Amino acid sequence: MGADRVPDAAAIDAAADGLLAAYDDDLPQRLSASQLRALLTLAELPGGINLRGLADRLGVVISSASRLCDRLVAAGLLERRQSDEDRREVLVRLSDSGRRLLGEVRSRRRERLAQVLSRMTPEDRAALRRGLEAFREATP
C-alpha cells in the first residue's frame, strides 16, 4: 500500500519534522545520518557483527556497508577483529571512541527532547510515547 493510500502518512511525516530536526541538529559535523545509524545498530551488538549481518540490518548491499565501515574505522569509531568462531570472518564493533561519541549524541538529544517535552502536557507526552512505541514495534 502506497503512502498516498494511508491518510495519516503525510500528517505524521509533517509532524515528525520537529523530532527529526532535533536529531539532525545533534549530529557531529563529521558524521552522516547513515554512519550514525550504523553506530546505533552496532551499539546493540557489543560482540560485533560481520559485514553481511550489518548490511542486512541497515538494508544496504555489502559493498556499501564495507565502505561505510571503512570510513568509521578511519575515524576511530569502529574496530575490526577476527571472529573467535571463524578466523576467516571479520567482525566490526564500536570502539571506545564510538561508544563515547554515541553517549554524547544521546545525551544532547535527550536534553533537547526534554526541553520540548516540558512544553507538552503529561497526556500528550504519554500519547507520543505510546505512538512511538507502536511505530517501533511495527517497523520491520
| pLDDT tens-digit readout, 20-69 | 776 666 566 678 888 988 999 999 998 899 999 999 999 999 999 999 99
pTM: 0.74
What domains can be seen in the chain, in order of their start residue? 19-138 (1.10.10.10)
For residue 11, the model assigns a pLDDT of: 80
Confidence bin at 5 (pLDDT 50/70/90)? low
Q: Which helix (H) or strand (E) holds 95?
A: none
Q: What is the pLDDT of residue 7?
A: 66
Q: Is the pLDDT of residue 134 over 70?
A: yes
Q: What are the Cα distances from residue 20, in Å, to 16, 47, 62, 84?
A: 6, 29, 27, 39
